[in-house]
């Protein structure tokens, strides 16, 4: 008796992305990665991502091999802009320290211009989890017999300028700028004061003392412009 001929199994349906309808197993192109970076930047400006979250996701987008890798980066973000009023934190415009030690950290909301004043004081301005309102943010610091330390995630463009009398302006860490990254410009005016920018890598752990020691030991100070 002749056995019936078995038909080949039906092909498995292609996996589809919930966001774009594109086969998520396909290899991603440079244009696909660039579009993902632009979308992540829009979510950063909308307050859905912090600076630290943005830099980590951009790094993952640049290294993405398939569409699935890119979809995962946006899986917890809305596809379209949300209409209506959105409640956001009150922005910080001024941080003042007088004979004290001030720490500003967490999900801070930065306006395009932020000011810090330290007189016989130390200020730690941690911007790693900050929200920003524009791609360019300026921080103006006035220091008299004090110190201001500014912490940014590695991959964000940041620099420091201004005037220092009997003090210093220094930058620490690797100056790696991710595509589409925002720019933070620090202007420091100091008399017997110091200002340091610390570019913190994502793997850094511990308190500010441990982070600064790690960067001083393993990353070093960036050369000053002449």
CA distance 116 to 139: 7
Buried-exposed string 179-213: b where 16+ CB fall within 10 A, e elsewhere: ebbbebebbbbbeebbbbbbbbbeebeeeeeebbe
Number of domains the chain is built from: 2
Domain identity same for 48 and 110 = no
Q: What is the pLDDT along the chain (226 residues), one digit of tens a residue?
A: 455 444 444 343 334 444 455 567 789 888 888 888 888 988 998 888 999 999 999 989 999 999 889 989 988 988 755 444 445 678 889 999 999 999 999 989 988 999 999 999 999 999 999 988 888 999 999 999 999 999 999 999 999 999 999 999 999 998 888 878 899 999 999 999 999 999 999 888 888 999 898 888 876 666 655 4
> Angle at which helices 30-45 and 51-62 pack, to 10 degrees?
170
161 occurs within a structural domain: yes
The C-alpha atoms of residue 154 and residue 177 are separated, in whole angstroms, by 8
The verdict on 107 and 186 lying in the same domain is yes
Please report whether residue 9 resides in a domain: no
At 91 the pLDDT is: 86
Three-state secondary structure call for residue 43? helix
Asked whether residue 96 falls in the same domain as residue 157, the answer is yes
Same structural domain for residues 172 and 149? yes
Q: Which two tokens stand for residue 224?
A: 């000053």
Residue 115: name the closest of 98, 99, 138 by CA.
Answer: 138
* 2 falls within a domain: no
Given this model, what pLDDT does residue 178 score? 81
Cα-flanking dihedrals φ and ψ of residue 70, to 5°?
-75, -35
- Identify the pLDDT of residue 218: 76
Domain end among 54, 79, 104: 79
Considering the domain architecture, whether residues 97 and 66 belong to the same structural domain is answered as: no
In this structure, are 96 and 188 located in the same domain? yes
Q: Count the helices and strands in the chain (H runs, E runs).
A: 4, 11
pLDDT at 88: 64
Q: Name the DSSP letter for residue 218.
A: I
How many CB atoms sit inside 10 A of residue 45's CB?
16
Distance CA 77, CA 81 (A): 10
Backbone angles phi, psi at 124, to 5 degrees: -105, 115
CB 147 within 8 A of CB 194: yes
| 202 and 101 in a common domain | yes
Asked, for residue 4, whether it belongs to a domain, the answer is no
Residue 7 lies in a domain: no
- In-domain check, residue 5: no
Distance CA 94, CA 96 (A): 6
Q: Measured between alpha carbons, how far is 150 from 11 in angstroms, rounded to an integer?
A: 56
Pair (183, 103) in one structural domain: yes
Both 57 and 147 in one domain: the answer is: no
Same-domain pairing of 201 and 162:
yes
CA 136, CA 181: separation in Å to the nearest integer? 10
Which tokens in the block code for residue 210? 């441990």
pLDDT for position 21: 55
Q: Write down which residue in 37, 58, 79 finishes a domain.
A: 79
**pLDDT given at position 160:** 93
Distance CA 112, CA 114 (A): 7
- The whole-number pLDDT of residue 87 equals 57
Residues 68 and 98 in one domain: no
Q: How far is residue 84 CA from its own chain's centroid? A: 26
Kindly state whether residue 30 falls inside one of the protein's structural domains: yes
Is 86 inside any structural domain?
A: no
Q: Which domain holds residue 20?
A: 16-79
What is the predicted pLDDT for the residue at 18? 44
| Domain-terminating residue out of 58, 79, 100 | 79
Residues 54 and 153 in one domain: no
């Amino acid at each position: 008796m002749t056995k019936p001929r078995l038909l080949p199994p039906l092909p498995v349906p292609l996996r589809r992305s919930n966001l774009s309808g594109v086969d998520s197993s396909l290899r991603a192109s440079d244009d696909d990665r660039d579009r993902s970076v632009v979308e992540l930047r829009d979510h950063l400006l909308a307050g859905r991502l912090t600076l630290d979250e943005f830099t980590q996701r951009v790094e993952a987008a640049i290294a993405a091999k398939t569409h699935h890798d890119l979809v995962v980066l946006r899986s917890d973000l809305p596809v379209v802009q949300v209409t209506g009023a959105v409640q956001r934190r009150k922005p910080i415009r001024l941080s003042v320290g007088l004979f004290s030690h001030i720490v500003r950290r967490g999900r801070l909301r930065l306006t395009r211009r932020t000011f810090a004043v330290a007189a016989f004081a130390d200020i730690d301005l941690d911007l790693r989890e900050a929200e920003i309102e524009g791609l360019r943010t300026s921080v103006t610091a006035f220091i008299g017999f004090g110190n201001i330390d500014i912490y940014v995630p590695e991959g964000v463009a940041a620099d420091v300028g201004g005037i220092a009398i009997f003090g210093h302006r220094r930058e620490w860490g690797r100056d790696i700028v991710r595509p589409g990254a925002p720019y933070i410009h620090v202007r420091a005016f100091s008399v017997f004061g110091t200002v340091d920018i610390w570019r913190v890598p994502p793997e850094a752990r511990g308190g500010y003392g441990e982070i600064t020691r790690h960067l001083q030991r393993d990353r070093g100070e960036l050369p000053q412009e002449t």
